[in-house]
Structure 1
Amino acid sequence: MPNGLFGGMMPVLEKGLDLSVMRHKLIASNIANEETPGYKARDIDFQKELNKVMGKSKISMTGTHSSHFAIGKASSGGIEIQTERGVGDGIDGNTVSLEREMVKMAENKLRHDAAMTLLSRKFEGLKSAIIGGR
């Protein structure tokens, strides 16, 4: 099979799950720092990063394993972490909006759940094929 066992979808689903976990951590960090003076909310462009895996641009990973991401600097493991500037700056320079972060968290959960459902169905189909539909 030229595209692997799942027709090339496995790397996309795997990276989608990795990205949703990374984004969840960033959003949780933003929420935890809601009242930290000068804190700038951080996020990733989920679609842009997923497109890299889908062949629309090349992905370059660093680290000991392709699924390991370190959260910190503006670019991490080939994943561009964006800092939100000027978006709802408070008097103290903090850009975190609890409402915006909660919406992003809900959207991210939907993406994660969708990828998990697709992956689960792929494996259920494989299991059914192996055991003969019993």
Structure 2
Amino acid sequence: MAINFESALGIHQHTLGIRAQRTEILAGNIANADTPNYKARDIDFKDALQSARSRSGMSLTRTNESHKSAQSFSLAQSGELFRTGNQPDTGDGNTVDVEVERNLFMKNSMEYQASLDFLNSKISGLRKAIKGQ
């Protein structure tokens, strides 16, 4: 009997990918804190999760039969947004508030770890079921 990973792992596989993408976006915001006219970006987690669960997905091109098949993930499909600045414009058009970005990055890191722990728990349960424990 084949294992359906979609139902076995539940939503956690999707949350992990979205949290990883959000980490990249928040890190990019922090890295561009001094870049003129840079607009802080973020992902609406709820919309991104809905999109990840409902999309049919596009296959990536495989150049060799031994390559694993995968699905692409576009931020444009997942609800990437520009954040409105909390601080007054300093004249350079940059909307990044480093303290806000660091706090969001830290919160996202904790949520990523929680998703990883949930996913690890699911995989551990599957291993036990396979071993008959």
TM-score in same-fold range (> 0.5): yes
Q: CA deviation at 1:125?
A: 1.2
Q: CA deviation at 1:50?
A: 1.5
Q: 1:132 to 1:19 in 2, by over 3 A?
A: same
C-alpha distance in structure 2 between counterparts of 1:32 and 1:63, whole Å: 31
TM-score by length of 1: 0.76
Q: 1:87 to 1:69 in 2, by over 3 A?
A: farther
How many percent of aligned residue pairs carry the same amino acid? 32
Paired position in structure 2 for 1:127: 127
Higher RCO (CA < 8 A, seq sep 6+): 2
Paired position in structure 2 for 1:79: 78
TM-score by length of 2: 0.76
Paired position in structure 1 for 2:65: none
Q: CA deviation at 1:69?
A: 3.4
Is 2:24 the counterpart of 1:20? Answer: no
Q: Which blocks of at least 5 consecutive residues in structure 1 are unaligned? A: none
Q: 4+ runs of 1 displaced by more than 6 Å?
A: none
SS in 1 for 2:42: strand
Paired position in structure 2 for 1:34: 33
Q: 1:9 to 1:90 in 2, by over 3 A?
A: farther
RMSD: 2.6
Paired position in structure 2 for 1:59: 55
C-alpha distance in structure 2 between counterparts of 1:97 and 1:60, whole Å: 36
